[in-house]
Amino acid sequence: MEVLAEDGSGLALIAPISAVGEVGFITGQPRSATVRAQEPSSLMVLESSAFENLVSQDAELRASIYHNVVRWLAEKLRDADDLIVCFRRT
């Protein structure tokens, strides 16, 4: 999949079997980019109400999910920092 800016220009490529929209999902804020499949794809959608219902029933599951989301977002932030450093060097 390809991440597109508001003007339609490509920002990034997303590897298969990846999640998208996780920041907006967690924060409830509007999306900051558009994602477009480059080839036929199968997608899974998780409605926020279903997620909230699930995690409200099991504190251990909720902690595990949020722990993994934080770890995953921290890795994405580290990758973004690395890209900024590379762009500054050029």
**pLDDT of amino acid 88:** 85
Neighbours of 14 (CB within 10 A): 14
**pLDDT of amino acid 71:** 92
**Per-residue tens of pLDDT for the chain, all 90 residues:** 898 888 888 888 888 888 888 878 878 888 878 899 988 989 889 888 898 898 899 999 999 988 998 898 898 889 888 888 888 887
What's the 3-state SS for 18-82? CCCCHHHHHHCCCCCCEEECCCCCCCCCCCHHHHHHHHHHCHHHHHHHHHHHHHHHHHHHHHHHH
CA angle 15, 54, 56 (to 5 degrees): 125
**pLDDT of amino acid 21:** 83
**pLDDT of amino acid 17:** 86
**pLDDT of amino acid 28:** 84
**pLDDT of amino acid 40:** 92
**pLDDT of amino acid 61:** 92
Radius of gyration of the chain (CA): 15
Residue pair 31/40 in contact (Cβ under 8 Å)? The answer is no
